[in-house]
Amino acid sequence: MDFSVVVEYFPRLLEGAWVSLQLVIVSIVLGGVFALPIALARISPVAWVRAVPFAYIFFFRGTPLLVQIFLVYYGASQFDVVRESVLWPILREPFWCAIIAFTLNTSAYTAEIFRGAIQAIPQGEVEACKVVGMTKFQMYRRILLPRAFGIVLPAYGNEIILMLKGSALASTITILDLTGMSRTIIARTYTPMEIFLAAGAIYLVISIVIIAIFRQIELRQNRYLGTLSIKVPDKG
């Protein structure tokens, strides 16, 4: 194996890594925003309000991300309505299609994580809020959501790592993310092992950095506990 190609093409790989990071950051932020209402609807006492997010979560967690990306990127253009709509300039771009698919996907997973965290809060705290006379909104804003945030962190860190790995699928719809860039370089140099291994190493470094950042946030968020050993409920 000849690793001089890796040195030569390293700047291109970093360019790809930056695209991967953009995909992950935008989808994680948007996904988190959508996940909260989905999670709250999922634990609603009203049956039909519960049913919609249940079906949504079941679909996006039960089908491969690759299918979801293809559905958005190739599927949407099947309909003339979409092609003529104002959204077409967005749905024409592979980058935004990837963002849409990733956001839908990660919001389903994140909603389940949020739901688990909200339900993991002891009933006594909910009762205490009611006794103190808080409204439902105050209870969520002051007690339940901040508590849930601390519980959610480890699982949420995992979800971001999964999203980073999922972002490699963007390469299948012509996006030059880290994987896509690697494939382009390989098409020119024909050194699959060297370039793919280098790309793998970059993914690994990004994962390790994300894990380290989350460990810091966890330490800060849960510092009142004086320990890191908190039980996180299983999602699902």
Partner 1 sequence: MIDLHGFGDQLLQGAVVTLELALASLFVGLILGLLGASAKLSSIAVIRWIANGYTTIIRGIPELLTVLIIYFGATSVLMAIAGLFGYDEYIEVGAFAAGVTALGLTFGAYATEVFRGALQSIPKGQHEAAIALGMGPIRKFYRIILPQVWRIALPGLGNLFLVLLKDTALVSVVGLDDIMRKANIAVSSTKQAFLFYLVAAFMYLALTIISMAFVSYMEKRASRGLTRG
DSSP 229: -
Within a 10 A sphere around the Cβ of 184, how many other Cβ atoms?
17
Q: Could you say whether residue 51 binds partner 1 (CB under 8 A)?
A: no
| Per-residue tokens: 131 | 């006794």
Which is nearer to partner 1, 148 or 199 (by Cβ)?
Answer: 199
The size of the interface with partner 1 (CB under 8 A), counted in residues, is 41
- Measured at the alpha carbon of residue 77, what is the angle toward residues 21 and 35, in degrees to the nearest 5? 45
| Closest CB 43 distance from partner 1, rounded Å | 21
Contact between 208 and 19 under an 8 Å Cβ cutoff? The reply is no
Q: Could you say whether residue 59 binds partner 1 (CB under 8 A)?
A: yes
Which is nearer to partner 1, 126 or 197 (by Cβ)?
Answer: 197
| Per-residue tokens: 113 | 């994580």
Q: Which stretch binds partner 1 (CB under 8 A): 30-38, 93-101, 122-130, 198-206?
A: 198-206
The span from the CA of 163 to the CA of 181, in Å, is: 18
Q: Which stretch binds partner 1 (CB under 8 A): 21-29, 34-42, 57-65, 125-133?
A: 57-65
The span from the CA of 59 to the CA of 230, in Å, is: 31
| Closest CB 155 distance from partner 1, rounded Å | 13
Task: Please select the residue that binds partner 1; options are 103, 107, 110, 171, rule is CB under 8 A.
Answer: 171
The span from the CA of 134 to the CA of 70, in Å, is: 46
Binding site for partner 1 (CB under 8 A): 58-59, 62-68, 70-71, 74-79, 161, 164-169, 171-172, 179, 182-183, 186, 192-193, 196-197, 199-200, 203-204, 207-208, 236
